[in-house]
Amino acid sequence: MGKSGNHAAIGAFVVGAIVLLIIGVFILGSGKFFSPQLEFVMFFEGSVKGLQTGSPVMLRGV
Per-domain residue ranges of the chain: 12-45
Rounded Cα distance, 43 and 46, in Å: 9
3-class secondary structure for the chain?
A: CCCCCCHHHHHHHHHHHHHHHHHHHHHHCCCCCCCCCCCCCCCCCCCCCCCCCCCCCCCCCC
Cβ atoms of 57 and 51 within 8 Å: the answer is yes
Quote the pLDDT of residue 42: 78
pLDDT tens track, the chain, 62 positions = 557 778 888 999 999 999 999 888 877 776 666 667 788 887 777 777 777 777 777 777 65
pTM of the model: 0.44
